[in-house]
Amino acid sequence: MYEAATSSLIPEMLKEYGAITQTELAKYLPDREPKRFLYDILADYPQRSGKMMRPSLCIATARAFGASLEDALATAVSIELLHNALLIHDDIEDESDERRGKPTLHKIHGVPLAINAGDTLSLLSLLPLITNTETLGSKLSTRILEETIRMALETAEGQAMELGWRRENCVDLNDEDYLVMVLKKTCWLATIFPLRIGALIGSRDTADLESLIRFGFFLGAAFQIQDDLLNLVGDERYGKELNGDIQEGKRTLMLLHLMENASDEQRELLYQLLDTPREQRSVAQIQWVRRLMDEYGSIDYAREIAHGMAGAAMHEYKMIFSNLPPSRDKDFIEGLVTWVFERT
């Protein structure tokens, strides 16, 4: 196994900033009717213990650039609200059964109520951005709103790419296609946006945000590839069903590697399997794909790429943060690069 390079700082700060964000977030969830059909449903995911990486990264970056925690808190809440809103819709689109160790919202309440709760939660995520005007002023708040719109568009584009690939049963994809999709679908919301917004708030819109795209991309890509790997080799703490990505036909780096390296006969069988409806894919078929991934070294291949992404992230981190004064928040951001591989 990897030697743990990260101290307890990462879980400590995720817990600390996560708890502060959760407390503030609760203020934005309406306490009125219809609770059973809407507000209780949309409050479910935020109350399940997520990693809270996104809001923590936003707060830490803002503080590393000189802002106070209060300056970044509302934006951190907005990020977490939008993240949870998108999770509700993602789970429906991916037909997922579990989220954070429990049944997905649409499995509990049905698709129509879950979609409505997701819509409402995404709208509620705008509320904290409005309150930003009181603490950050109208100019900076407008910049944050601009960045939010860009992030939302990038994320939607990435999700559309992946859903489109599955709908059309696209298999002639390469690693670059995958990375572009991950950049849009995962990195913008998970890392690039929290980093950019944090720097925007901390520097009062004077920091070079472009370099944060690079760091955020490499960190987010390492995170996503490792997440895809955990779906195949994770334990019960992972929180999603094992091999669920194969069941969904999700285009992961491992699947693309397998499609490229399998024999013609195996490739044809894989193509047919991916072309059948999800519910018709048997456990035996899923296990067959999983065994092939081992046989062709697809798991190891993806691990190597993830490590390369993390190495590049470390390089980009130093380019951006080396000139900032030492702080616990800086250590936290740097530590996230290795934490990606230590989490379960």
Partner 1 sequence: MENGERIKREAPKRQNPDRGFANMFGQPVGGDTNGSSSTSDNVWSENVDRGVKLGYKVIEDQILQGQRFAEKLGTGSYSAGVMNGDVQDLAKNIQKYSEDSIQFYSKIIDSVTSEMSGMGSKDFMSGNGMNQGVQGLMESFTRVFSNGSVGETGANTSRTQDANGINVACSVSSTRPVEINVNVQSADGTLIIDRLYEHDIDKPPITGVTLERDSNSRLKLNVDISDEQPAGHYSGVIYDPVDKNHCGTLSITIAD
Estimate the share of the chain in helix, then strand, then coil, as percent rounded to the nearest 5: 75, 0, 20
Rg (CA), the chain: 20
Backbone angles phi, psi at 99, to 5 degrees: -145, 125
Task: Choose one: 45-53, 106-114, 311-319, 328-336; the region binding partner 1 (CB under 8 A).
Answer: 311-319
Question: Exactly one of 12, 70, 134, 146 binds partner 1 (CB under 8 A); which one?
Answer: 146
State in angstroms the smallest separation of the CB of 83 from partner 1. Answer: 21
Footprint of partner 1 on 168-207 (CB under 8 A): 175-176, 179-180, 183, 205
Start-to-end CA span in the chain (Å)? 12
Dist. CA 320–CA 333, nearest whole Å: 11
Residue 111 contacts residue 134 (beta carbons within 8 Å)? no
Measured over the CA atoms of residue 309, residue 315, residue 317 and residue 320, the dihedral's sign is: negative
Residue 187 contacts residue 218 (beta carbons within 8 Å)? no
- 268 binds partner 1 per the rule CB under 8 A: no
Helix (H) / strand (E) containing 102 = strand 102-103
Q: Say how many residues touch partner 1, by CB under 8 A.
A: 45
- 307 binds partner 1 per the rule CB under 8 A: yes
- 260 binds partner 1 per the rule CB under 8 A: no
Question: Exactly one of 164, 295, 319, 328 binds partner 1 (CB under 8 A); which one?
Answer: 295
In terms of CB distance, is 16 or 205 closer to partner 1? 205
Task: Say whether 58 sits in a helix, a strand or coil.
Answer: helix
State in angstroms the smallest separation of the CB of 32 from partner 1. Answer: 30
Binding site for partner 1 (CB under 8 A): 1-3, 5, 138-139, 142-143, 146, 149-150, 175-176, 179-180, 183, 205, 208, 210, 213-214, 217-218, 221, 233, 291, 294-297, 299-301, 303-305, 307-312, 314, 338, 341
